[in-house]
Chain A
Amino acid sequence: MIEKKSIDISLEIFKKLDKIKRDSGFAEKKWDEWLDDIFDEQYDEKKTMEKIFEKSAYEKYYDDWIHNFALNLENIWNGKSAKELTPNVEEKQIPGIVIGRGPSIVKYSHLEQLANSNFDGAIICVDSALRNVLRSGITPDKFKNFFVITIDTQISVKEMYSDPIIKQFGNKIKCLLSTTVPLSTYDIVKDSGMKIYWLHTLFDYNKGQSSFNYISGKMSRSKHHINGIPGIQTGGNVGTSAWVTSWSILKCNPVGLIGIDLGYDINTSWKEIFDYHNLPYDLKEDSEIFEKAFPTIFNPDFNCHCRLDPKFQFYSNALKEFIPKAAKYVKTINATEGGSIFGKGIECMKFSEFLKKFS
């Protein structure tokens, strides 16, 4: 027997819905069938978007990943696996905070709140946020479990590690690096005094023994890590990688997110967003295509709107899918106070509340 639920909606809304259902060719069909069709269509759009980004990534990065991996190999063999950061089973789990560089972090003074708190858990910072995090007083002197992560292939990443403040605290920071980062990134991280821990970024392991992940996994093994090194889901970006690392490798629980907006603040104009991507500003803002590619969404948990472009939709869809799937390992609390991460299985609260609860 099929379990049924009923909801109360106003007659006005019902009439609007009924019209859309009839106009979609579902006049004689059940409501479940129509809604299922909508959800299938949305799912297909997500899959289409994911495939387009996968193709772009292969074209843009794949050769670099192979090249970088080859150049890193000796350092990987002689280096440390990220698995060494995993605490013993008997150790008590500590909370973690993943820090991204989304606009909410400035808007709500999250770094200042954290710097002035008594939080005693782990800090997992994305590379692009590191300089500002340290400058705001969140340093490994105060926060002993301090980590930073880089997965990106772009040569420009090394700039994120070039600020003198990073060298000042480098020897107290643990840096997780993907095996595919450029050698220049490895060199600057090493030069800053950070301890380096390697991990693989997963993308094609499902293709079996001929996959890059499989081959590079086997090649990375050495007497220092005979069974290999960990592989993580990236969700397409370093913020999601930091979140996966926080609970899968560092075993933090719960994990709070700040600066993980994966969207633009509502006050960012479309012109600025288009300029950012070098896109021609010739789309009508009220067209259906525009609304699909650049939707403005309402975040009911933080009572705010945010704007998305295709890339943020791609990132956001993935993280929103993975947070509930990881619930058996970790309780994730989005304390970003804005952005696009909300929905089924995602708990949201103000960062001040998070700090009060877990400090």
Chain B
Amino acid sequence: MIKGNFKIKKIDAKDDEQKKLEEIIAKSGAGSHMVFRSDNEDDELFMEEL
């Protein structure tokens, strides 16, 4: 039981910290653009014609 409580506290603390960090990131504004992700590593860098 005690062990369980310790775990819950630790997770909550980490979540709060993570949330605060994410808030700071969000407040720092949008970049100019996004990073493009693809399963095809070559397409991820460029496509000759689209």
Contact = CB atoms under 8 A, between A and B. Distances in A.
B44 to A, nearest CB: 6
A217 B49 CA distance: 8
A100 interface: no
A241 B47 CA distance: 13
Contact of B50 (A50, A228, A289): A228
B5 interface: no
B3 to A, nearest CB: 13
B46 A233 contact: yes
Interface residues of A, number: 62
Given A53-B34, A234-B34, A288-B17, A200 B22 contact: no
A57 B21 contact: no
A57 B50 contact: no
Contact of A238 (B24, B26, B28, B32): B32
19 contacts: A53-B35, A58-B34, A61-B30, A203-B35, A206-B38, A213-B50, A217-B50, A220-B50, A227-B49, A228-B49, A229-B49, A234-B35, A244-B46, A248-B46, A277-B28, A292-B21, A310-B28, A325-B45, A326-B45
A249 B46 CA distance: 9
Interface string B11-48: 00000010011101111111111111111010111111
Interface stretch (A4-12, A188-196, A311-319): A311-319
Interface residues on B, range: 20 to 34
Given A201-B33, A233-B45, A309 B38 contact: no
Interface in A205-249: 205-206, 213, 217, 220, 225, 227-238, 241, 244, 248-249
A47 to B, nearest CB: 10
A57 B17 CA distance: 24
A56 interface: yes
A94 B14 CA distance: 51
Contacts of B48: 83, 230
Contacts of A50: 35
A57 B31 contact: yes
Nearest to A157: B32
A56 B31 contact: yes
Contacts of A57: 30-31, 33-34
Given A53-B31, A237-B32, A48 B22 contact: yes
B9 to A, nearest CB: 15
B26 A56 contact: yes
Contacts of B20: 289
